[in-house]
Each structure stands twice: as structure tokens, then as C-alpha cells.
Structure 1
Amino acid sequence: MKLPSSPTIDRVLAAELCSGCGMCAGIATDSIRMETVAPGYSRPNVFAALDSSAENRIAAACPGAVVAPWPDAPERDSYWGPSIRILAGHATDPHVRFAGSSGGALSALLIHALATGLVDRVLHVAPDPEYPTRSRLQVSKTAEEVIANAGSRYSASSPLQDIDRVLAEDMRTAFVGKPCDVSALRQLATADPRVAQRIPITLSFFCGGLPSHAGADRIVRQMGLDPARLARFRYRGNGWPGQARAETVDGQVREMSYAESWGNHLSKEVQFRCKICPDAVGGVADIACADAWHGDADGYPSFEEQDGRSLIVTRTAPGDALFASAAVAGVLEASPIPVRDIDLMQPAQARRKRLIVARVASCRLAGHAVPKMDGLDVKKAARKANLREQSRNFLGMLRRIIFKRK
């Protein structure tokens, strides 16, 4: 008996290109559900046949098949994408600033969008009460809910797995997700007019890649605790960059620095799709935020605890209007910065972008599928890479693919 399948999903899964966004499950709710697979990624399971309409929508929107091109804007940078304004700043409410992973800009913008009636609710992710290192879908309608669920979530998440239900409800929704999530939503909008009607604003962030659940479990074990006995877990926040903090059901508490939790554990568990991501900076979101790191004496970001500071990039007219309204209302304090300042704040993002062409070329040579990535300036960024780093990344990716197959 032939099992139900989707040509698009089959191809994406076979090439490890799934980002786990959940768009396919949100489109084909009667045929696909998201499940957790080892070592802890969210992946679609096709359990019933899809009709041709659902297959076509998935093929057009899946970020493992196609990445949305950047929109037109007054300024455009091959690393940092389109922009209307580039600023560094923070939420003026000290509680919001402290609770956020950087300067609380995303949280402040969401709270302002709710307060002004721009949206009725926020669709984002939050800690799963049953598995605190994992994430679940969250709908927030108040400032208190937004703040309670602030902070980075370095774990598998599928914020689009209920997108058809969200679009069917007559409510204006702000969407917050990874760059690949927003890409999927932008692509879906080309076939589904409800996206523009129901979701007037999208926000994203600069993404370092999505780690598996195994990375978080390793952090907890390194702290000397049992992942199965967690009551609460925070990856970051409550300070900048904030400590990873684990609390068990019997009251034990441990913390770990961001430099150690990300650098020694989570970064080693990032899924393959993230290694060739051509838009990890939220280039198709209305607004993208990031850590506006201060460089140390050697020109590298310093992760010493200090008052949070957010990088804020407005990319579209709706995004710029939201920022301007928030600034006038006094909920954000921010000043313009030159685009080249971001090179010092986010050197890892710059490096990844200029090496996408080398990594993708290696994939193609090995017969490994890659997403369509037109309109994202990958070739322009590649011109900034020197021959040595291009060669190392080309060969490194080729070795990975060959040895993975063996």
C-alpha cells in the first residue's frame, strides 16, 4: 500500500531543508501534523493524501523550497537587507527592557501595537509549561502576556502550524517569528489574500540558527540537573545578554552565561537548513530587531552583562509607521546608526551571508537540493569573502554532505 506523501515535503526532508516552521501543517490540517524527531527538531508527518491545491500552496510557501525575496526599500545592503531606518535603542520601560533578550524593542513594539489598536493579538512562541526547554504557540492580547513570554527561545518551534485557523478568525494579528517563518508567511500571501487582511504587521529578528532540543538538554546536564525535572527554563533575558537559568521542581537553581550556553552547546546543534540560510536577518519582515552588541578591544562583540540595547531595522512602510508611532509615544528610545556599524555588532551574520554562495555551490556539486533564493543579494555578499574562507567553507560543506551519506 502506497503511503500518503507530498512531493515538496519529501524533497525538502530528504535534503534536510526543513526549518520546522509548520506552514505545511497549517495549510493542510487534515493531512499533515508537526512532530518532534531526533535529535529534537520539529518536522511534518504526512498522514493523509493532499489535494493539488494544498500541494501547490506548500510548494509556493515552504522556506525549504523557496525563500521570499527582499522587498524594495530606500536603502539596501547585501548583508543587512532592505531598510528605511536603522537605529540602536531600547524600550523606555525598564521592566520591558530588562525582560527582553536585548533592549526590549520587540516587546515594546508589540505592546504599542496592541495599545493603539493596530492589532488585537500577537501570535508568537512561549515556553512549554510541560517541557520548559521547548516552545509552544502563544497568542497574547495584553502587555502582561507579551512581557511574560519575552526573551529568546533557542528551540524548535512551529509558529505557523495553526495559520489557517488564525487567518479564518476576524482578528488583526501581529506575527513574530524566525526569518524563515516570516518568509513562509510572505510567500503564502502571494496565494492567500487573507494574510494581508489579517496580519498587518510582521516582526522578526536576526537568527543564529535553530538548535535541537538536545542542545538545551546538554546545557541542563552540564549544570548538574535532570532535564526531566525542570519546572522552568530561560535561555536568555532578565538582563543583557542574560543568563541561561534552570529551575527544578524541587527548587534547585543553576545559571550559565550566554557565551557558554550558546557557544559551547546550542550552536553545535543548529539544523542544516540554517547553515545555508540566505536571509537570517529577517529581510522580509516589516521590522527586524537584533542585539546591538558593543565590540570589545579586538573588534568582537562583548557578552558582558550590561543594560540592553536593541538594533532596530524598519524595512517597510507599515513597519516604519509602527516604529515612528512608538517613538512619538515614548515607548522606545532610539537613535540612527550607520549601516556599517552593524558589521561590528553582528560579525557572525555578516560572515555567514558572504559564504552562502560557497556553501550552496558545494551542495549543488554534490547533487544536494537547495532552496530557491533569488532576490536576496547572495552573490553580491559573496564578493566580500576572500578566497581562503570561500574555499574552506566549500570543502567543509562538501565533506559534510559526503560523510553524511556514508
Structure 2
Amino acid sequence: MTGISSPTLQRVLQGELCSGCGLCAGVAPASISMATVAPGYSRPVQSAPLNQQQEQAVAQSCPGAKIAPWGGAPHQDIFWGPWQQVLTGYAVDPEVRFGGSSGGAISALLIHALESGLVDDVLHIAPSAEYPTRNRLQWSRTRDEVIRYAGSRYAASSPLSEIGEALESDQRTAFVGKPCDVSALRQLALVDPRVDRRFPIKLSFFCGGLPSHDGADRIVRAMGLEPDKLVSFRYRGQGWPGMAKAETLDGQTAEISYADSWGAHLSKEVQFRCKICPDAVGGVADIACADAWYGDEDGYPSFDEQEGRSLIVSRTAAGEALLASAAGAGSICYEPLDVREIDLMQPAQARRKRLVVARTASCRVLGHPVPQMHNLDVAKAARTAKISEQLRNFLGMLRRIVQKRK
């Protein structure tokens, strides 16, 4: 049997709601595989029917169909989600701080979890050896591996594509993924109790959206290089925010700033699902980290190179325990931050959240599917947006969907 037969996947793919997380392929590897489709996103291809259990897992967990609700913490913010503590900090080890995309907080937490025996390994993303602008799965077991593969990877990734096989093991793993990946993992845990035993630590980050491979190729060409000649490519890190850096087979090297790589290229290639995302801040992770940008004279984030600083939001008891353990071991240092300060550090995230209702309203008017978004404060966030801003986004999304159908 060929083609899509799962009703969940059919709806998700037809509505461009797939985030490419790979969960469906992970729970049904004999029936679904992940493939790259133009302009460079990861999407499932179904070759055989799913059994009832697999269909239930996909319907329950797919972040294109349903997004895990917030809750369970003593505090909750309409933009920044549930929280136990809001902090700024950085990795104490200068090498870890330098190698990460902001202050190295996630890397420091992972290294501490490994070296203290909290976990046996880490599941995260690393550059593809064949196509350095693209991603592959990485199971890291040492400090050196975590540092080697630190840094943001602004390209399609499917970190849950081997989840079924992973759940057969009794190893304990720290998982790092996009907010939608952690949402899928949280929801899978509701139908598969092995998830929380296998992945006792689930970390995420604030996500600006997933760009296509074409966006990365444009960066390489803007550097004066060719994508098929690369032997290495780094999107960020090795400084804060760090430069995009490339090297070719014949030894040519080039770099451009984060402001240019993201602002001029990658941000224009973000997939549709990300434009209506109600939880790009890792609201169901144990800990979510982000860039704790300093504002410029006009109150906007400044991307000048400086010592890295991470925004750290602990959301669960497990996250609190990991933070306390890492701080006690001298792996990470931090200080409290007023939650309203995040508004100045991450204004683009707040803007997207307050426009989710306007954008999804356009979808509903045209019969275009949207994911379930219960208990994510989208209505409360929408009430903070100006009517003119909502109208512009409603009409812009309406126009986009109509044009796409032509």
C-alpha cells in the first residue's frame, strides 16, 4: 500500500502542519519513513497502514495535530509559559560557555547530568557529515561530544525518528529538542509509560521557527561559497551570538553575522507550522533556555558579540532538581530575573504568540486545519494585540492560504 492512509497524517500534511519531528516514523518504522521535500523540510512518507496502537500514538502525540497543554507549575505567563524559576546565567566552564549559542546553559546541564550519573547519554542533533548545513541524530555520552555538537542548528531535524527503538532500551537519556519535539514526547508519555523512564530529562529552547535547507544554501552562497563543496558549517556559537561559519573541501573559509544569517536569509524560510505555533518557548520542557539578549538604546535586542548569557526557565520539579544539582557542582551559575524582563529579551516571541488567534482565524475561515491548542493562553495573549495588528495578520494569512491554493 502506498500513499498516506493515516487520517492524522493526512490532515497534518494537507494542512502544512507537520513540524518534521519524526515521531510518526519512530512509532511506526515499518510503515513510515522521513524524507526531505522541497524547499528542504523533513516530512513523513507512509508506505503501509498503521495498526490501531500506532494510529493512537500518532493521533495523541503529533504536534501538527495537537500541542501539549501547559500546566503544573506554581506560576504561568501568557507568553513565557509555566515556570518555577526565571533566571539568567551561564556555564562556569569557559569552553562550554564559548561553544554554546548563548551562555552554554543547556550544554552545562547536559554535561552535569552525564558526569553525575543522572543519565547515561544525551539525544540531540548534530551536523551531517555529508551535508554540513543539515542535521542528523546524535547520542552523546561524554563532555567532549556535548561540546563538539553544541550550538543552534537552524535546519530540519527529526529527533524522534528512532523513538520506538530507543524505548526498547533501559538506558536513561536526556532529550534536547525543539518545543514541538518535547510536546510530542510529553504526549507520547500519556500512552506509553516507557517514555518518562527512558527520558527523565527533557530540555528545550525558545524557537524562532524552522527554516528550510534552501535558506541555509542561500547563506553559503552569500558567503561566496557553494553548498556542495562544504566540509563544515556552523550556524552559531563559539561566541555570543556567534558567526555563521563555513569551510570547503579546498580550504576556503567564510563567515557572516548572526543578524545577517538569520535576519536576511533563514527567517524568510520558516515553515508554515511555525507561523501559527502557540508554544515556541518550550512550555512543557523541564527547562527551556534562550538568548538573554541585552537591549540597545531603543529597547530592541542587540546582537553585538559579547560574553554569552542564557535565559533559563525551569518548569518542573525535575528541572528544578537538575538546576540545583548543576549549581551545587559548580557547573552553572545564575541569578533571578523578573519574568517581564523576557518581554525585552524576546519581543519576537511575544509578538508571534499574541497573533496566533488572528492567524488561525484565517485558517478556520478557509477550512484550513489547525492543531488543537487547549490551555496554552492563546486567547489571553491575543487580547494584548492591537486590532490593527490582528487585522493585518488575519488578512495576510488569508492571502497566503488563498495564493497557495491557486
Same topology, TM > 0.5: yes
Q: Which amino acid aligns with 2:286?
A: D
Query: 1:349 corresponds to which letter in structure 2?
Result: Q
1:186 — aligned with what? 186
In the alignment, which residue of structure 1 is the partner of 2:386?
A: 386
Correspondence for 1:247: 247
Deviations 1:152-187 (A, max 9, x none): 000000000000111111100000000000000001
Q: How far does the alpha carbon of each residue in 1:87-145 deviate from its partner, in whole angstroms, 9 at most, with x for none?
A: 00100100000000000000000000011111000000000011000000000000110
**2:2/2:47 contact within 8 Å kept:** no
Pick closer, same or farther for the CA change 1:347–1:4 going to 2, 3 Å. closer
Opposite residue 291 of structure 1, the aligned amino acid is D
Q: What is the match of residue 313 of structure 1?
A: 313
Percent of aligned positions that are identical:
70
* Equivalent residue letter for 1:66: K
Quote the offset at 1:2 in angstroms: 6.8
- Distance in 1 between residues matched to 2:178 and 2:266, nearest whole Å: 16
Does residue 19 (structure 1) correspond to residue 19 (structure 2)? The answer is: yes
Match of 1:304 in 2: 304
Q: 3-state SS of the aligned residue for 2:359? A: helix
Question: CA–CA distance in 2 between the matches of 1:124 and 1:6?
Answer: 28
Corresponding residue number in structure 2 for 1:88: 88
* Contact 2:123-2:176 at 8 Å conserved across structures: yes
Question: 1:66-94, CA deviations, whole angstroms, 9 ceiling, x for partnerless residues?
Answer: 00001211110000000000000100100
CA distance in 2, matches of 1:325, 1:135: 31
Alignment of 1:208-287 (within 5 A): 208-287=208-287
Cα distance between partner residues in 2 of 1:183 and 1:197: 17
Residue 127 of structure 2: aligned partner: 127
1:373 aligned residue: 373
SS in 2 for 1:245: strand
In the aligned structure 1, how far is the partner of 2:263 from the partner of 2:207? 14
**Alpha-carbon distance in 2 for matches of 1:324, 1:383:** 36
Which residue of structure 2 aligns with residue 153 of structure 1? 153
Query: Is structure 2 residue 53 aligned with structure 1 residue 73?
Result: no
Report the AA paired with residue 319 of structure 2.
Answer: G
Q: What is the deviation of 1:3?
A: 4.3
**SS, match of residue 167 in structure 2:** helix
SS in 1 for 2:339: coil
For the Cα contact (< 8 Å) 2:78–2:380, is it kept in 1? yes
- The match for 1:330 is 330
TM-score (norm 1): 0.99
Cα gap change, 1:4 to 1:373, in 2 (>3 Å): closer
Q: Which amino acid aligns with 1:298?
A: D
In structure 1, what is the equivalent of residue 355 of structure 2? 355
Structure 1 range deviating more: 278-287 or 50-59:
50-59
Q: Which moved further from structure 2: 12-21 or 323-332?
A: 323-332
Q: Structure 2: which amino acid aligns with 1:207?
A: C
| AA matched with 1:92 | V
Residue of structure 1 equivalent to 2:38? 38
Q: Give SS of 1:340's match.
A: helix
Contact 2:69 / 2:376 at 8 angstroms: preserved in 1? Answer: yes
**Distance between the aligned counterparts of 2:205 and 2:4, measured in 1?**
36
Change (3 A) 1:33 1:391: same
Structure 1 residue 4, shift from structure 2 partner: 5.4
One-letter amino acid of the counterpart of residue 186, structure 1:
R
Aligned residue identity for 2:326: A
Q: Distance in 1 between matches of 2:4 and 2:18?
A: 18
Q: Deviations over 1:266-317 (max 9, x none)?
A: 0000000000000000000000000000000001000000000000000000
Distance 2:319 2:71 in 1: 12
Q: Secondary structure, in 3 states, of the residue corresponding to 2:24?
A: helix
Superposed CA deviations along residues 310-341 of structure 1, whole A, max 9, x for unmatched, are 00000000001100111111111100000000
Whole-angstrom distance in 2 between the partners of 1:72 and 1:346: 24
The one-letter amino acid paired with 2:117 is: G
Normalised by the length of structure 2, the TM-score is 0.99
